[in-house]
Amino acid sequence: MSGAPALEVTDLSIAFQSRHGLLTAVHGVSFSVGRGEVLGLVGESGSGKSVTGLAVMGLLDAAGRITSGSVRLLGTELVGLSERQLRKRRGRDISMIFQDPSTTLNPVLRVDTQIIEALTAHERLSQKAARARAVSALEAVGIPSPAERLTAYPHQFSGGMRQRLAIAIALLHRPAVLIADEPTTALDVTIQAQVLSEVQKLAADQGTGLVWISHDLSVVSGLADRVAVMYAGRIVETGSVADILTDPAHPYTSGLIASVPSRNRRGSPLAQIRGAMPSLAAVPPGCPFHPRCDFASGICARAMPEPLAFADRIVRCHHPLAAAARAETLSA
């Protein structure tokens, strides 16, 4: 299928078996990523970002499962595939990188062994050709003197270099989709900028669709084309970076943007959202944001708002803020 987006997630719900019974961590999440496009998936701790990424990869742990919805990779459904079938796809058509690169890297194997293993898992290659590919993969992520570095072990690399190694391995087969779960969060600012610049360049050159997961709206705003904002397991707003930053439609998005220090006059009190994110076992009824929302009305505590589409954006709120969204609710 040629017109299909690289990744299309529709109405995905994910639940975990727990002491409190089956707890739903992600509710009906939908998004899509085109080739060469960057989608930022933003939200605070516990909002369900990592779980969403893991479910797309088919990597949920034993307690978790997809309870409904669909994940289509280049038009092919992944939900319901066997582990064997998924393994053929993983690393070749879709890859993931994590905050901690040691999730991907094996500490007791030399770097060349790991890269060549990853290469030959999906391709038939001579040792010589594989080595050459490994060298150019390290070169592409900006690792200096790649041929010599190949014979080193992961612990001989700095944190930033280890993360680049993980990225190099994830991109070996030029996957259609790369899911990046906070890979620069633990890095220093200057090293983060180096890694971001490599990923940005590679994804654009290879036409990889990138899902960039982060709690930091500032990182995402410089990198992404579109943003999806998550709160308590739901995407509450999706749109272009420019639309969302200049004219947020959901009160939570607006609160998040306003609480970033650089958006406030130096020394003045920061705009803040009162209260805290609810835990999975105690999600409020209706709109889960209503106890913290300045715009809440009676209906917010009773009914979950349905997604409202307008001007290439989607928002889930009974009283959306953006001017364009308001026009839409009035005409409906």
Ligand X SMILES: Nc1ncnc2c1ncn2[C@@H]1O[C@H](COP(=O)(O)OP(=O)(O)OP(=O)(O)O)[C@@H](O)[C@H]1O
Give residues in contact with ligand SF4 (CB under 6 A). Answer: 250-251, 287, 289-290, 293, 295-296, 300, 305, 317-319
C-alpha distances out from residue 156 to 141, 151, 153, 265, Å: 17, 10, 6, 44
Q: Which is nearer to ligand SF4, 157 or 252 (CB)?
A: 252
Please answer whether residues 179 and 57 qualify as being in contact, where contact means their C-beta atoms are separated by less than 8 angstroms. Answer: yes
Task: Say which residue the tokens 């200049």 belong to.
Answer: 246
The interface partner of residue 253, options being other proteins, ligand X, ligand SF4, none and the CB cut-off 5 to 8 Å by kind, is none
By a kind-dependent CB cut-off of 5 to 8 A, residue 69 interacts, out of ligand SF4, other proteins, ligand X, none, with none
Rounded distance between C-alpha atoms, residue 149 and residue 285, angstroms: 54
From the list 152, 149, 154, the residue with the least C-alpha distance to 166 is 154
Residue (79 or 191) nearer to other proteins, CB: 191
Least Å distance, CB 120 to other proteins, is 28
β-strand pairing of 313-315 with 38-42: unpaired
Among the listed ranges 11-19, 29-37, 50-58, 244-252, the one in contact with other proteins (CB under 8 A) is: 244-252
**Residue 29 β-bridge partners:** 12
DSSP letters of 116-178?
HHHHHTTS---HHHHHHHHHHHHHHTT-SSHHHHTTS-GGGS-HHHHHHHHHHHHTTT--SEE
**Residue 281 or residue 303: which is nearer to other proteins going by CB?**
281
Neighbour order of strands in the sheet with 209-214:
94-97, 177-181, 209-214, 38-42, 226-231, 234-240, 313-315, 308-310
Is 192 a residue that touches other proteins (CB under 8 A)?
yes
Site string for other proteins, 152-181 (x = CB under 8 A): ---xx-x-xx--------------------
| Pairing state between β 226-231 and 209-214 | unpaired
DSSP one-letter code for 46: T
Considering only the stretches 171-179, 189-197, 205-213, 306-314, report the one whose residues sit in contact with other proteins under the rule CB under 8 A.
Answer: 189-197
Q: Interface with Mg ion by CB under 5 A: which residues?
A: 50
Q: How many residues bind other proteins (CB under 8 A)?
A: 51
The entry of other proteins, ligand X, Mg ion, none near residue 100 (CB within 5 to 8 angstroms by kind) is none
Nearest one of 184, 228, 193 to 49, comparing CA atoms: 228
Task: CB nearer to other proteins: give 13 or 192.
Answer: 192
Does the protein bind other proteins through residue 269 (CB under 8 A)? yes
Q: Which of Mg ion, ligand SF4, other proteins, none lies near 262, with the C-beta cut-off 5 to 8 A by kind?
A: other proteins
Closest C-alpha to 41, from 189, 160, 183 = 183
Shortest CB 250 distance to ligand SF4, Å:
6
Nearer to ligand SF4, 232 or 241 (CB): 232
Closest approach of other proteins to the CB of residue 127, in Å: 27
**Regarding beta strands 21-33 and 7-18, do their DSSP bridges make them parallel or antiparallel, or are they unpaired?**
antiparallel
Contact residues for 154 (Cβ-Cβ < 8 A; gap 6+): 101, 102, 105, 106, 107, 111, 162, 165
Closest to other proteins by CB, 56 or 97: 97
**Which partner in other proteins, Mg ion, ligand SF4, none is near 50 (CB below 5 to 8 A by kind)?**
Mg ion
Residues of the shown chain interacting with other proteins in the complex, contacts defined by CB under 8 A: 44-45, 155-156, 158, 160-161, 188-194, 196-197, 200, 215-219, 221-225, 241-242, 244-246, 255-257, 259-264, 266-267, 269-274, 276-277
